[in-house]
Amino acid sequence: MTAWSPVGCATNRAMHAGFHTRVAPRALALAFGLSAAVGWCASVQVDVRDGAGQPVSGAVVFLESTEAQRAARPLQGVEMAQEKKQFVPGVLVVTTGTEVHFPNRDAVRHHVYSFSPAKKFELKLYKGTPANPVLFDRPGVVVLGCNIHDQMVGWILVVDTPYFAQSGMPGQPAGQAVLGDVPPGTYQLRTWHPGLPVGAAALAQPLVVGSAALSAEVTLTGLAP
Amino acid sequence: MTLRGLRHSLVARLVGMSLLLLLAVQLAGFAVVRASIERNARAQIARELDTDGRVWQRLLEQKAERLRQGSALLAADYGFRSAVSSGDTQTIESALENHGARIGAAVTALLDTRLAVRAISSPGGGMKQLSATLAQVVPALAAEPAGSQIAVVNGLPHQFVMVPLRAPLVIGWVLMGFPVGQPLAEEMRQLLAVDVAVRVADGQGGFSVPVSTLPEASLKTLRAAGSGVGEIETQRGTLLVRRSALSHLGAPSEALLLRSVDELVAPYRQLQWLLAVITAAGLLLFALGSSAMARRVTTPLRALLVATRLLSKGNYSVPMEHTGRNDEVGDLARSFDHMRLDIARQQSEIRDLAYRDRLTGVPNRERFRGAVMDALRTDPVLGHRLAVLVLDLDRFKHVNDVLGYAFGDRLLQAVAGRLQPMVGEPGDMLARHGGNEFALLLHVTDAQAVLQIAERIARAFETPLHFDDQTVDLSASMGIALWPDHAVDADMLINRAEIAMYGAKKRLAVALLYDPALDSSSAQTLSLLGDLRRAVEQGELRLYLQPKVALQRGAGAAAEALLRWQHPQRGLVPPMEFIPFAEQTGFVRQLTLWVFEQVAMLLAQTLARAADLHISVNLSTRDLLDPELSLRLGAILERYQVSAGSFCLEITESAIMDDPQRAEAMLNRLAQQGFKLSIDDFGTGYSSLAYLKRLPVNELKIDKSFVLGMQSGGGDAQIVRSTIDLAHNLGLTVVAEGVEDAALMERLRAMACDEAQGYHISRPLPAEQFLGWHAGPGAAFVAAP
């Protein structure tokens, strides 16, 4: 809590948070941060397209900077559930240090594992919710699999920033992601998509955020179909 | 053809030809079947190899699929993934090795998502070559991840598969290589009983065969064979080869599928052997059967052959065999048998004609002689004797002359009829021995028995014969000779019986037993005959000529040829001592020819030709009855180129009267040849001038008894004179013999006798002196008025 971002943009944040129905604790935290907020915040709209210019949904865009890293706080109450032999959500973006619960809502057992360098773990055959959540303490892409069900794939993107969004979420135009309440500054706009080759780093491009809203465009190439 | 030859030719030909045909058919069938089996076998093997090729490919595919599945399972193994994700190269390599070994991979490698080799495990080593191979294999596999690739590693083809390593996304690739090795080949062999060999090019034009189910010997042959070989010959027989390419990456390699023609054909071969055995057995049975059949045909043929030989030897008594058969052979045999009987009958007829006197119906002289010889040969019973009785009718010629030949014939028949009862014993025989001569062969115990038979015959002859109005008294002279008392052989026995008969005739006895006294020369007969032969051969005979002179006019020189014998021991033998003997034995014919030839030689001489010689040669009865006489004389004339007109042939009356018909025929022939003919000793026989008139005679020679009788007065002069007149009236010239003095010669000249011959003129002179005499002392006679 001490390293909280000096920039607070309540309205935007609230609006932003409204899209994350399961991040209520975080909204509370943001609301708590309002008191310390200084200055104006801008919202960043990012359109993600593929090499052919078609909008790409499901991409994760996030802004990185030293300030943003400092402003990042672990999320609370985050879970990556398994329902109908699928990871839900398919792509989960968390900040570094977040502890994620893996509740099993299927009747069958699952054996969730990750061999990703960002976080290697395994939750051996279990039912219900394991007692201990898994701590994701390093940024990076963590690919989740189930040793019992090969078709189950899930991704947890661990980022060192609180500013992230996913393109093409319900209610948004295809391929569009909106990052709200971004304090002005110089960032690296990074874009990642599960269709990128395994182990490939997120696309990075510099982005200067002022006090006004701005929009950026990202072209992702090399996506798997 | 011999019996063996016949059997060989017919049986062998029948059986051989049939066997050859059968064998040819069997061989043709055998060859066709064999070729067909071979062709079908190859076609079947080709089809099987097609299938083998497909199965092999399928096996490889299945193998690859299995490997890929195994590899996929391995790649999904959590522990393996854990190890791989450890990031530690050594750990990863050991994990690769460990897990590769689990499914029997020879090569296991981990590739990252960009297909770069991250780690590799190859227990067999050869890492350097492996890397080069992987560089070719991996892109090919990446282009077709579900497939497999085969490449040669360490001289052995390996099947490579590549599967993704998921965690759960593809985080890399696991590549595994499995040898296409002996186990696979063995599996193929067990599956389809096809031999498999894997051949790998070594890059220097040669190749190696690292995998093979073939035995070592065949493998050696395969290694020695070229690369494009379609079949190889091994100790196990012919192997057909089907090639199936394995890899084109790296060193080319191929799998060879091999199937043995011989193994496939083997059961058929056994069948063929069985067939061959059956064929051989069949041929044997056929040969036996057909030779038995052939024998059935040729055995009667042989019997027929034997039978025909018997026939040709004159044995007609053995009936043919096989006449009971119903086939053609039987027909042939019956026909032969018929022929045998016919020939036998004809033969018997011919023999009958040859050995029987046709007039009287009794055996003839030849038959009689044969019977005597047979009796001598077969009847040497101790104490028994063989007798030959020769009977000669007295005055038969007179009967013939007076009463005619027909009467004479009837007389002979009657005599035969009377003699017939005299021969009762088995083996006895009555034969007509000559014109009026009969002979009897009698088996008796002693001479007395024969004499009794002779007496019975004489009694039988006492009864006169009555023919028509004529009554004829029969009388005969009989001579008897006994064997072994008087002779050692048949001819001698008959001969001595005849001598005895002549003796009886001379003494006017009815019957006479042979006595050596009757035959003074008999002791010398054999040696005399031998001497005579020798005399001719060694030139002991001499030709003498007694000149004849013409009484009326000076005609050419003439003479009578006479024979003298200059015996080396006995000196000059007079004609009377050997001529009768020669006439008796028939040797006189040779003497006559000798004389004739000598005269011909003489006439051929230049001097004789100039002298216009006419020479008389005496002919005997034997000569006259020799049907070849004219030919023989003709041949001599031809040889010496002298004319028949220079010869005068003198024949006695009795010589003609022995067989007047034949004699007349011969005289006619001689006259036609140009010979002059003269009747010798005219007046001593019974011949009438009327009869002589029929003969082609040129001259009469008045017997010297009449000429000599002229001196003593009486009727002889009248006989001579009238004979000369008669002869002249008949156109004959007259010669007087025995002119011993000049007065006699003058009287004969006065009687118009044409020629004279006698001691007054000249004794017989040796031939070489004759011409000299003619030129000297003889000239006086020639010059006579």
Q: With 80 as the cut, is the pLDDT of residue B748 above it?
A: yes
Identify the H or E element spanning B407: helix B405-419
Q: Which residues pair with A42 in a beta bridge?
A: A182
% of residues, chain B, pLDDT over 90: 9
**pLDDT one-digit tens code per residue, B628-650:** 899 999 999 999 999 999 999 99
Q: Which residues of A touch B78 (CB under 8 A)?
A: 113, 147
Q: Where are the domains of chain A?
A: 10-72+160-220, 78-158
Q: Which domains does chain B have, with CATH numbers?
A: 42-267 (3.30.450.20), 356-519 (3.30.70.270), 536-782 (3.20.20.450)
Q: Which residues of A touch B85 (CB under 8 A)?
A: 115, 120
**What average pLDDT does this structure show over B191-195?**
86
Query: Which residue carries 């014939």 as its tokens?
Result: B409
**pLDDT one-digit tens code per residue, B282-301:** 888 988 888 888 777 778 77
Gap between the Cα atoms of B390 and B479, Å rounded: 5
CA distance to partner chain A, nearest, from residue B207 (Å): 45
A14: confidence class by pLDDT, cuts 50, 70, 90:
very low
**Full-model pTM:** 0.47
Tell me if A10-72+160-220 shares its fold with A78-158: yes
CA distance to partner chain A, nearest, from residue B172 (Å): 9
**What average pLDDT does this structure show over B267-271?**
84
What the block records as the tokens of A36 is: 């310390």
CA distance to partner chain A, nearest, from residue B63 (Å): 25
Q: What phi and psi, each to the nearest 5 degrees, are found at residue B560?
A: -110, 130
Q: With 50 as the cut, is the pLDDT of residue A36 above it?
A: no
Q: Which of B304, B358, B357 is nearest to B335 (CA)?
A: B304
B33: confidence class by pLDDT, cuts 50, 70, 90:
confident
Contact A3, A66 (CB under 8 A): no
Q: Which residues of B touch A116 (CB under 8 A)?
A: 167
- Chain centre to alpha carbon of residue B484: 45
Query: Are the Cβ atoms of A153 and B169 closer than 8 angstroms?
Result: yes
Provide the pLDDT for residue B527.
Answer: 64
Provide the pLDDT for residue A15.
Answer: 39
Query: Are the Cβ atoms of B171 and A198 closer than 8 angstroms?
Result: yes
Query: Are the Cβ atoms of B113 and A150 closer than 8 angstroms?
Result: no
CA distance to partner chain B, nearest, from residue A212 (Å): 40
Question: Strand ranges (DSSP E) for B394-551?
Answer: 429-432, 437-444, 465-467, 470-472, 476-483, 511-513, 541-550
Q: Could you give the count of Cα atoms lying within 13 Å of B55 in the half-sphere of its Cβ?
A: 21
Chains A and B form CB pairs within 8 A to the count of 36
> In chain A, whose CA is at the least distance from the CA of B77?
A147
Give the other-Cβ count within 10 Å of B641's Cβ: 9
Gap between the Cα atoms of B578 and B574, Å rounded: 7
Q: Which residues of A touch B171 (CB under 8 A)?
A: 115, 143, 198-199
Q: Which residues pair with A116 in a beta bridge?
A: A119
Q: Which residues of A touch B81 (CB under 8 A)?
A: 115
**pLDDT one-digit tens code per residue, B331-349:** 888 888 888 888 888 888 8
Tell me the torsion sign for CA atoms A143, A146, A147, A152.
Answer: negative
> In chain B, whose CA is at the least distance from the CA of A154?
B168
Query: Are the Cβ atoms of A115 and B81 closer than 8 angstroms?
Result: yes
Question: Strand ranges (DSSP E) for A3-41?
Answer: none
Q: Which residues of A touch B170 (CB under 8 A)?
A: 198
**pLDDT one-digit tens code per residue, B465-516:** 887 777 788 788 899 998 888 888 888 889 888 888 888 887 778 888 887 7
Q: What phi and psi, each to the nearest 5 degrees, are found at residue B377?
A: -75, -40
Best of A114, A198, A223 to substitute, by most chain B Cβ atoms within 10 angstroms, is A198
Query: Which residue carries 């066997």 as its tokens?
Result: B19
CA distance to partner chain B, nearest, from residue A91 (Å): 14
Q: With 90 as the cut, is the pLDDT of residue A190 above it?
A: yes
Of B76, B82, B170, the CB nearest to A198: B170
Query: Are the Cβ atoms of B170 and A150 closer than 8 angstroms?
Result: no
Contact B320, B340 (CB under 8 A): yes
Residues 6+ apart with CB under 8 A from A121: A113, A114, A134
Query: Are the Cβ atoms of B167 and A199 closer than 8 angstroms?
Result: no
Provide the CATH topology of domain A10-72+160-220.
Immunoglobulin-like (2.60.40)
Provide the pLDDT for residue A25.
Answer: 43
Q: With 80 as the cut, is the pLDDT of residue A129 above it?
A: yes
Of A120, A153, A199, the CB nearest to B168: A153
Query: Are the Cβ atoms of A198 and B113 closer than 8 angstroms?
Result: yes
> In chain A, whose CA is at the least distance from the CA of B87?
A117
Gap between the Cα atoms of A49 and A177, Å rounded: 11
Q: With 70 as the cut, is the pLDDT of residue B537 above it?
A: yes
Provide the CATH topology of domain A78-158.
Immunoglobulin-like (2.60.40)
A100: confidence class by pLDDT, cuts 50, 70, 90:
very high
CA distance to partner chain B, nearest, from residue A129 (Å): 22
Best of B115, B169, B170, B173 to substitute, by most chain A Cβ atoms within 10 angstroms, is B169
CA distance to partner chain B, nearest, from residue A116 (Å): 8
Provide the pLDDT for residue B7.
Answer: 54
CA distance to partner chain A, nearest, from residue B75 (Å): 12
Q: What phi and psi, each to the nearest 5 degrees, are found at residue B545?
A: -125, 130
Tell me the torsion sign for CA atoms B210, B213, B216, B217.
Answer: negative
> In chain B, whose CA is at the least distance from the CA of A112?
B168
Gap between the Cα atoms of B328 and B309, Å rounded: 21
